[in-house]
A and B are shown apart, each in its own frame.
Chain A
Amino acid sequence: MTTLLNVKDLRAYYGQVQALHGLSFSLNEGSLTTLLGANGAGKTTTLRAICNMVRSTGGIEFDGKPLNNRSTESIVRFGIAHVPQGRGTFTNMTVEENLQLGAITRKDSAGIVSDIERMYAHFPVLKQRHTQQAGTLSGGEQQMLAVARALMLRPRLMLLDEPSFGLAPLVVRDLFGILGKINREDKVSILVVEQNAQLALELADQAYVIETGRIVMSGNAKDIANNEEIRKSYLGY
């Protein structure tokens, strides 16, 4: 298996405050990897550092090419789609415009049209609401829209920041089911940050556990889920 994303000795700063203290991990092409940890451990910061949305040092390589010092918008063009915390919905635009924005860097208009239809097949509720202002959607629907918007890029890697946040358990099951399907069928590698460790470990194949800006545990998702000690001390279930 080839390494798609390689992060080495990543340190990130908010002003004078250091949030990541030399964090290293890698992600294989086609894998579904999860980054677990408590509040404030640095999960979101890690994703933000990959897209250069926070000041950082260290090495970030995507498909062998360094991402450091590139602007956020140019990193997207490598095929990295980031679904931010809070979903980043364009609330005053329609659902369909949100999807078109996801594909704004693409030139193949026919492919975009067929991809919008594909998203409607994945998420039928979005089709029902395609002319509606995105801000009027429920939290779960907005999360589906955010995932669909990210997929419109035809990404090689999708970064998801707490997709389960604020959603009803049934909606979360649905969403995670779809993420697994996208990973298997569309061959999109996924890096998902979660607080809901139990659910994320069921879905993922690889897992890393972060504590105060460092990786403290890594391995096969099943092994970590089965290790009672890790579960109790780091994951809280």
Chain B
Amino acid sequence: MELFTNQVLAGIATGAIYACMALAVVMIYQAIDHLNFAQGEMAMFSTFISWQLMQWGVSYWAAFVITLAFSFVAGIAIERILFKPLAKAPVLTNVAGFIALFAIINSSAGLIWDFTIKQYPTPFGSAPFLGSQLISTHQAGMIGVTVLLLLGLYFFFQYTRIGLAMRAAASVPESARLVGINTSWMIALGWGMATAIGSIAGMLIAPVVFLEPNMMGGVLIYGFAAAVLGGLSSPFGAVVGGFLVGVFENLAGTYIPGVGNELKLPIALALIISVLVVKPAGLFGRQIVKRV
């Protein structure tokens, strides 16, 4: 029983990271109808920025905040420079754009910081949380930061005018323009926020997976699995999907014989395929009907 509880709690902790990545992916998907394959690399690059700042002597939380601001601006810049011109381009052109972005960021990080694995600090410490053996303080910190982030985002989208405008621009762009919303900038703002959310995921998971240019590969696949499971059209679903995938991954690794650590990633892919076959809209997504 203790093993079970332990695995569930650890699953919730990594699930928090998947939830952040899934949320970032869904935010961009809602805005431009494409999956951002480079979301993980963007998060990785941000994490390197925070690491570099700490190497220069900046304290953890100051580096955290500076990195958030950097990621926000960088996300907006990427949208303005690369994806705004591609807005009316075919799907494959956009996919090529995302893959190019992936390769550029990955190689740049390798060039600047090389591919050796680096330690990344945790501000929470790794002692048992409140003396319990079930979960570490860092894992509790991951959950805590994510919950705060989600509450903040909920408040932003539900109760601020700019949040309302962003939702309107994502759901019915033409009507949004007709009430005077600059939808193009709302998309850019969505990119900035998604990039900042991804950077939080990167900084929280880095002490666990260690810092290197390929650190987010697996994490992003889990993020995609979470987004697909929850429904690509539902930010709430993406978050729930993130936590579910985290717990499922751990339980499968522990209890299904032969899965262990090595086959955890194929499980995420199997999950993506199963959801797409059985319930393409996901748990909370709306069926997308196109009039032809």
Residues in A lying within 8 Å of B, measured CB to CB:
51, 53, 71-74, 76-77, 81-82, 84, 88-93, 97, 100-102, 104-105, 149, 153
A44 CB, min distance to chain B CBs, angstroms: 13
Which residues on A sit within 8 Å (CB–CB) of B175? 84, 88-90
* Chain A, Cβ-Cβ closest to B286: A92
Q: Name B166-219 residues within 8 Å CB distance of A.
A: 167-168, 171-172, 174-183
* Number of CB contacts from chain A to chain B under 8 A: 62
Given pairs A73-B183, A104-B161, 15 additional interface contacts (CB within 8 A)? A53-B174, A71-B182, A73-B181, A76-B177, A76-B180, A77-B180, A84-B174, A84-B175, A88-B172, A90-B168, A90-B171, A92-B171, A93-B167, A101-B181, A153-B179
B82 within 8 A of A: no
Residues in B lying within 8 Å of A, measured CB to CB:
161, 164-165, 167-168, 171-172, 174-183, 286
* Chain B, Cβ-Cβ closest to A52: B177
Which residues on B sit within 8 Å (CB–CB) of A73? 177, 180-183
A109 CB, min distance to chain B CBs, angstroms: 9
CA distance in complex: A22, B164 (Å): 39
Q: Are A101 and B171 in contact (CB under 8 A)?
A: no
Q: Are A100 and B177 in contact (CB under 8 A)?
A: no
A105 CB, min distance to chain B CBs, angstroms: 4
14 A–B pairs (Cβ distance < 8 Å), ordered by A: A51-B178, A71-B182, A73-B183, A77-B180, A82-B178, A90-B172, A91-B171, A92-B171, A92-B286, A93-B167, A93-B171, A101-B168, A102-B179, A153-B180
Which residues on A sit within 8 Å (CB–CB) of B176? 101
B291 CB, min distance to chain A CBs, angstroms: 10
Q: Are B179 and A101 in contact (CB under 8 A)?
A: yes
| 7 smallest beta-carbon distances between A and B, as pairs | A88-B175, A76-B180, A105-B180, A72-B177, A73-B177, A82-B178, A73-B180
CA distance in complex: A149, B175 (Å): 11
* Chain A, Cβ-Cβ closest to B158: A97
Q: Are A76 and B178 in contact (CB under 8 A)?
A: yes
CA distance in complex: A22, B183 (Å): 31
Q: Per DSSP, are chain B's interface residues mostly helix, strand or loop, or mixed?
A: helix
Which residues on B sit within 8 Å (CB–CB) of A51? 178
Q: Per DSSP, are chain A's interface residues mostly helix, strand or loop, or mixed?
A: loop
Which residues on A sit within 8 Å (CB–CB) of B172? 88-91
Which residues on B sit within 8 Å (CB–CB) of A93? 167-168, 171
A190 CB, min distance to chain B CBs, angstroms: 16
Q: Are A101 and B165 in contact (CB under 8 A)?
A: yes
Which residues on B sit within 8 Å (CB–CB) of A97? 164
* Chain A, Cβ-Cβ closest to B167: A93
CA distance in complex: A88, B179 (Å): 10
CA distance in complex: A105, B182 (Å): 10
Which residues on B sit within 8 Å (CB–CB) of A82? 178
Q: Are A76 and B179 in contact (CB under 8 A)?
A: yes
B120 CB, min distance to chain A CBs, angstroms: 39
Which residues on B sit within 8 Å (CB–CB) of A104? 161, 164-165, 168, 179-181
Which residues on B sit within 8 Å (CB–CB) of A90? 168, 171-172, 175
A100 in contact with B164 given A88-B172, A90-B172, A92-B171 (CB within 8 Å): yes
CA distance in complex: A127, B286 (Å): 27
Which residues on B sit within 8 Å (CB–CB) of A81? 178
B164 CB, min distance to chain A CBs, angstroms: 6
Identify the interface centre among B164, B172, B175: most chain A CB within 10 Å of its CB. B175
CA distance in complex: A90, B165 (Å): 11
B16 CB, min distance to chain A CBs, angstroms: 26
Which residues on B sit within 8 Å (CB–CB) of A71? 177, 182
CA distance in complex: A90, B169 (Å): 10
Q: Are B179 and A105 in contact (CB under 8 A)?
A: yes
B184 CB, min distance to chain A CBs, angstroms: 9
B178 CB, min distance to chain A CBs, angstroms: 5
Identify the interface centre among B161, B174, B179: most chain A CB within 10 Å of its CB. B179
